[in-house]
Structure 1
Amino acid sequence: MKIGVAAVLVLALAILPVVRADAPGASQAPGPHPTIRDFTNTDPASLGVRLVQPRKDPKTGFVVGGKNSTKLLRTLAEINGRAIADLEADMRPGAKSPVGSDGGFLGKRESLLEVMAADNDEVVGRLGLTHQEVARHMHALGAIGERMQEEPFRYHGQRFRVTVVAYRGDQPSPFHDGTKSNKEVTVRNLDSGKQIEFSLLVPFMVERYGFYEGKGTPYRVDPARLLEVLGLIGKGSMAEPRQPPAAEAPQRANIRP
């Protein structure tokens, strides 16, 4: 018996399996890209972090939270009422002090004023920024990271993911200014693949004193490297923070948050 071509085609179609649109390997029309939140123009006041107001020390001329010349920095005998020698002693690795740290804030022989002067030349002199601008980005990214809980977000035209880790016990500032933190963040630029880590105590020290920690400590935040990871210069953005979930914080040996 002869079967026509049309009949064969109809029969073949009838016995083909039906493939669901949601089955693995099924071809689907591409959907819209998910929208991620943009924090570029978020009001700083919604962050919950109080930015320090500039205050000039009448004794030394140093402006806490403001711009200082490198020449002035090299002549300081004290900062925030603390003698430079006392600050350096508390900043050495393993200092036996209420504000001491195993890893230290300075290397064993580093000069606090020389470290601050070099970073002032870099940030204010070469890059044309202020330490307060840099600190605003650090404050913002830490707060956004707490809010977003590792979800990606957009910041000044780039995509980031921030991981926030909390540790038991606060690390107070060696400047005795009431600031402290027990958190560390990892900022990942999803567009460039670059990342950087820093303690959330560092933005307070950068904002007030232009102190990014010494090159002899693993906790230093190199300002040029930070700006390279962020891919931006001289812009600020803030976001409302969210407290991390209550849970037992992890611990690491010889780690200062």
Structure 2
Amino acid sequence: MIENLYKIPNHVAIIMDGNGRWAKRRGLDRVYGHKEGVKAVEKTIKFAKKVGIKYLTLFAFSTENWQRPIDEVNTIMSLLVEYINEKIPMLLENDVKLIFMGRREGLWDSVLEAMEKGERETSQCSSLTVVIALNYSGKAEILDAVNKILKSNVESIDEESFRQFFYRPEIPDPDLLIRTSGEKRISNFLLWQLAYTELYFTDVLWPDFDEEEFLKALYDYQSRERRFGKVLDE
């Protein structure tokens, strides 16, 4: 079915939602949902590389997620460290660059070390760039950008110069946003960058998101006509 794809988004962003509900429906602790969610991440990365997507941004942990139970937060952070350290060979084999975006203040030292290791060891990869949004908030990113501008010598600002103060100004805006679990909101994710992004919502919980579900989103995307505010010829 992949051969039927003729319009591949350059950048896909995903809000990976539903780990906790996946576990609850099976009578399991929420942490098991996060462990299964990690498996879905690897499948998604490999499939994105397979179809030719160049940028994949995954919303892993928001600034608001610190309000979750401490055991759940600890599990998420531990899984992140474990995943980075174990999956670097897989990333290298698939020519995948790993980078992070978000506030690094407040993160565990072990998390920061793993992040730096992942970025360093995959820095020469170029087929696909995976961006992990960690301790991220769209509002915080805009506020941090404004504060950087206030501390700089910039006399005037436009859209292009403003985005140079973002966490990852080199990353193009997403063409497609996918959110799993049936929720239909963007939850403080990439508020500036999603201005003209196509949105796709699925009821599938994140641990169950597979190649078939990814294809459904891509087929829906290629049926869209992106106008960016302009009137196209009939």
**TM-score w.r.t. structure 1 length?**
0.23
| Structure with the greater alpha carbon radius of gyration | 1
Q: Which has the higher contact order (CA 8 A, sep 6+)?
A: 2
**TM-score w.r.t. structure 2 length?**
0.24
Q: Say which structure is richer in helix.
A: 2
